[in-house]
C-alpha cells in the first residue's frame, strides 16, 4: 500500500455561490447525453494539480505554498459566462468563467506554481485560465442541444464569490467519481481593517 496522496491546491466555492452554479449546471444537465457532472458541494477552482505526492513530502510543499501566498489579500471574483473546452462543437469540459477578480486569481496561482516548482513539480506549460469546471464529457461528441445551452448562457452573470483561503485537497478516484477531502486550509492575509 502506497503512502502517496493524490492532491491539488484549490479555491473552494462558498455556499452562496454553489446554489447559483448548481442552477447553471442543471440547465446544462437537461441538455446533455453522456456527461459526468461535478457535485455542487465540491465546486472549486484548481490552482495547481500536484498528482501523487509522498505523504512525508506534502507538508513541506504546503508550508512553501503558505509562505508564498502570505501577502495575498482576500478578494471577490465575478462568476460570469459559460463556455466549453476545446470548443462548442465537440465539448470535453463545460466551465464557468471568472471576470472581475481574474487577475488576483491568476496572481495567486502564479505564487502557488512558483512554490511548488521549488519542490520539483514541473511548471504548467499552458497559461493558467481561471475557470470552474461544471462537467466533463464521458465520450466527447457533437451535442447541439448542449452547445446551444452553453451558448445561451455565454454571458450569464452568476454573481460573486469571495476568495479568502486556499485549500490543500486530497482526491481519491472511485468508481462513482473523485472524492475530495480538505487536508489543510490557509486563510489569506486580511491585514488591517480599511
What gap in Å lies between CA 109 and CA 129, rounded to an integer?
10
For residues 95 and 132, the answer to whether their CB atoms sit within 8 Å is: yes
Angle between helices 102-117 and 55-68 (to 10 degrees): 130
Distances (CA, A) of 87 to 1, 93, 140, 142: 40, 9, 11, 10
Q: Which candidate in 89, 119, 131, 186 is catalytic?
A: 131
Q: Is 44 a catalytic residue?
A: yes
CB atoms within 10 A of CB 108: 25
Choice among 44, 89, 119, 190 that is catalytic = 44
Whether residue 37 contacts residue 25, with contact meaning beta carbons closer than 8 Å, is answered with: yes
- Residues annotated catalytic, as ranges: 44, 131
Amino acid at each position: 500500500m502506497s503512502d502517496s496522496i493524490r492532491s491539488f491546491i484549490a479555491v473552494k466555492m462558498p455556499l452562496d455561490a454553489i446554489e447559483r452554479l448548481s442552477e447553471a449546471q442543471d440547465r446544462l444537465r437537461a441538455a446533455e447525453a453522456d456527461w459526468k457532472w461535478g457535485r455542487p458541494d465540491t465546486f472549486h477552482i484548481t490552482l495547481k494539480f500536484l498528482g501523487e505526492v509522498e505523504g512525508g513530502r506534502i507538508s513541506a510543499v504546503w508550508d512553501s505554498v503558505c509562505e508564498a501566498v502570505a501577502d495575498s489579500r482576500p478578494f471577490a471574483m465575478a462568476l460570469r459566462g459559460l463556455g466549453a473546452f476545446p470548443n462548442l462543437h465537440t465539448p470535453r469540459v463545460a466551465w464557468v468563467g471568472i471576470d472581475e477578480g481574474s487577475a488576483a486569481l491568476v496572481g495567486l496561482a502564479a505564487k502557488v506554481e512558483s512554490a511548488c516548482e521549488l519542490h520539483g513539480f514541473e511548471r504548467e506549460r499552458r497559461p493558467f485560465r481561471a475557470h470552474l469546471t461544471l462537467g466533463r464529457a464521458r465520450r466527447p461528441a457533437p451535442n447541439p442541444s448542449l452547445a446551444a445551452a452553453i451558448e445561451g448562457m455565454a454571458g450569464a452573470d452568476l454573481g460573486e464569490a469571495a476568495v479568502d483561503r486556499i485549500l490543500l485537497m486530497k482526491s481519491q478516484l472511485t468508481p462513482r467519481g473523485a472524492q475530495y477531502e480538505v487536508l489543510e486550509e490557509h486563510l489569506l492575509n486580511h491585514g488591517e481593517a480599511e
